[in-house]
C-alpha cells in the first residue's frame, strides 16, 4: 500500500535536506544550510509519528531513519561548523573535531537501535538536537572565538554518547485523521525558513541549548540526591554500630 511508504518518503526527505545542507554551506549559504537541518529535525519528529498513526512501523524504516539522521544531524552540522568556523584552525585540530561529532552521533544512533531507554526518556543527547545546536551555534562566528566552537562541538559529541537522560516527546502522537496537515506543516516550515533565514536559525538555538542543559542539570541533581542519601545511610550505620 502507498500509505505504508509515506513514513519512509518523509525519512528520505530528511536525508535530502541533509545533503542539501552540505551543498549549501559549501556554496556560502551557511544560514540556509542551518535552516535545512532545523526543518530536517521537524520531519524527523514527524515520520515516526506518521508511521505509528498508519501502523506502518518496520525494521526497514527504523534503519533508514538512523542512516538519514547520521547525514542530516551528524555529517551536515559537522561540515557547517568546519566551513564556517574551523577552516582557519590547524588541520590537526579542526579535522579531528569535525570527525568526532558524526562518529559520536553514529555511536548514539547504534545504541538507540539496540538498547532500550527508560520510558519517556532518551539516553544521551538525541542527535537531532545536537546537530541543530552545532549548526546554529556556528552562525555566531563573528561574535565567538574558534576555541568556543571547538569546545562546543566536543561537549555535544560527548553528551550524545553519555548516560545522561533527556526527556522524550514520542508519547505525543498524530491522530490518523489529522495526517493531511503534515505536508502543510512542512511547506509552511520551508517557506518561513526561507523568508526568515537569518533570524530563525539563531532563534532555534535558544530552546535547543536549554534542552541540552536541562539534561545535564537533572543528571547532576540525581547524583547529588544519591550521594546525599548514601551519606545519610552511612551516618545511620555508624550510629547503630
Residue 221, domain member (yes or no):
no
The pLDDT value given to residue 238: 66
Contact 136, 201 (CB under 8 A): yes
Contact 21, 76 (CB under 8 A): yes
| Radius of gyration, CA atoms only, the chain | 20
Model's pTM, two decimal places? 0.87
The string over 34-59, giving b where at least 16 C-beta atoms fall within 10 Å of a residue's C-beta and e elsewhere, is bbbbbbbbbbbbbbbbbbebbebeee
Residue 239, domain member (yes or no):
no
Q: Which of 16, 20, 42, 71 is nearest to 185 (CA)?
A: 42
Contact 139, 34 (CB under 8 A): yes
Residue 179, domain member (yes or no):
yes
The pLDDT value given to residue 107: 94
Low-confidence ranges of the chain (pLDDT < 70): 1-3, 116-118, 171, 198, 235, 238-241
Euclidean distance between CA atoms 168 and 179, whole angstroms: 21
Strands (E), the chain: 121-123, 165-167
Q: Which residues contact 54 (CB under 8 A, 6 or more apart)?
A: 3, 4, 6, 7, 176, 179
The pLDDT value given to residue 151: 92
| CATH number for the domain that contains residue 97 | 1.20.120.1760
The pLDDT value given to residue 2: 65
Residue 203, domain member (yes or no):
yes
Euclidean distance between CA atoms 66 and 44, whole angstroms: 10
Euclidean distance between CA atoms 126 and 209, whole angstroms: 12
Residue 137, domain member (yes or no):
yes
Structural domain that includes position 7: 2-216
Euclidean distance between CA atoms 105 and 77, whole angstroms: 11
Residue 198, domain member (yes or no):
yes
The torsion angles phi and psi of 223, rounded to 5 degrees, stand at -65, -40
Q: Which of 139, 125, 159 is nearest to 80 (CA)?
A: 139
Count of domains in the chain? 1
Euclidean distance between CA atoms 124 and 161, whole angstroms: 6
Cell 539563531: give the residue.
202
Residue 94, domain member (yes or no):
yes
The torsion angles phi and psi of 187, rounded to 5 degrees, stand at -65, -45
The pLDDT value given to residue 69: 95
Amino acid at each position: 500500500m502507498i500509505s505504508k511508504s509515506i513514513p519512509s518518503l518523509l525519512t528520505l526527505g530528511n536525508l535530502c535536506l541533509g545533503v542539501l545542507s552540505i551543498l549549501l554551506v559549501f556554496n556560502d549559504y551557511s544560514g540556509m544550510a542551518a535552516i535545512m537541518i532545523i526543518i530536517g529535525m521537524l520531519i524527523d519528529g514527524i515520520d515516526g509519528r506518521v508511521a505509528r498513526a498508519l501502523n506502518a512501523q518496520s525494521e526497514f524504516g527504523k534503519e533508514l531513519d538512523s542512516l538519514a539522521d547520521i547525514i542530516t544531524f551528524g555529517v551536515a552540522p559537522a561540515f557547517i561548523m568546519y566551513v564556517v568556523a574551523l577552516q582557519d584552525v590547524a588541520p590537526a585540530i579542526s579535522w579531528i573535531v569535525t570527525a568526532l561529532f558524526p562518529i559520536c552521533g553514529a555511536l548514539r544512533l547504534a545504541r538507540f537501535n539496540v538498547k532500550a531507554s527508560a520510558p519517556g526518556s532518551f539516553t544521551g543527547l538525541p542527535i537531532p538536537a545536537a546537530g541543530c545546536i552545532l549548526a546554529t551555534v556556528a552562525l555566531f562566528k563573528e561574535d565567538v572565538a574558534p576555541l568556543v566552537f571547538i569546545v562546543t562541538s566536543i561537549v555535544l559529541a560527548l553528551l550524545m554518547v553519555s548516560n545522561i537522560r533527556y526527556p522524550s516527546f514520542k508519547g505525543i502522537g498524530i491522530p490518523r485523521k489529522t495526517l493531511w496537515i503534515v505536508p502543510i506543516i512542512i511547506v509552511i516550515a520551508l517557506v518561513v525558513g526561507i523568508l526568515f533565514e537569518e533570524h530563525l536559525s539563531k532563534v532555534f538555538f535558544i530552546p535547543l541549548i536549554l534542552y541540552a542543559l536541562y539534561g545535564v542539570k537533572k543528571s547532576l541533581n540525581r547524583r547529588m540526591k544519591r550521594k546525599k542519601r548514601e551519606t545519610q545511610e552511612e551516618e545511620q550505620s555508624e550510629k547503630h554500630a
